[in-house]
Amino acid sequence: MRAYYFDNQPGDQRLAHDSSRPVDAETLKNLKVESWHMPVTEGFEEKLNAIASERGYKNRDVITVSKEGLGDQYEEKIKAFYEEHIHEDEEIRYILSGGGFFDVRQAFTDAWIRLAVSAGDLLVIPAGIYHRFTVDKRNMTQAVRLFKDEPKWSAIYRGAKSDANTHRVEYLKSVAAAA
């Protein structure tokens, strides 16, 4: 995974939008964003299972974000994924193939940090952080999604309701304490 500040230039969201300003591991740690790289080779399931067990994840599914995988819902889903939102659970994804970008808002500066992911990257985005996702120019990402309970994807889009959300408030307190 590669992390850098988003360039905020207009244009296709699937392009790199690389500002040439890298983001270091300490900045991501302070934002409570975690990542690992585990090549998608024989035995990766054991490592993934160990992480899932350690973090209390009981369920998983595989999602293919592509025109073929989502059919008529592709454009609608891509727009929904790219709209700024939070979740009340951490979002954990292990990329099996393809690639994409998770953008996370840096607390207190509101700058976008772009996380370029590809096969073998495992990313944990904490509950309460504003973020969005898009595929890259390959138009395909296949990922394992891990869940503590039943598989769900429930977004709370940015606004007064999300700003007052308990998980958002707790997230901000946790990153303020780390600063």
Q: Are 136 and 95 in contact (CB under 8 A)?
A: no
Rounded CA-CA distance 112/131 in Å is: 8
Q: Are 116 and 16 in contact (CB under 8 A)?
A: yes
Cα atoms in the Cβ-side hemisphere of radius 13 Å centred on 85: 17
Q: Are 61 and 145 in contact (CB under 8 A)?
A: yes
Residue type, 51: I
75 is in an annotated binding site: no
167 is in an annotated binding site: no
87 is in an annotated binding site: yes
131 is in an annotated binding site: yes
Q: Are 133 and 102 in contact (CB under 8 A)?
A: yes
Q: Return the SS3 of 109.
A: coil
Burial 4-16 (b: 16+ CB within 10 A, else e): bbbbeeeeebbee
Phi and psi at residue 15, to the nearest 5°: -85, 165
Binding site members: 85, 87, 91, 131
Binding site members for Ni(2+): 85, 87, 91, 131
Binding site members for Fe(2+): 85, 87, 91, 131
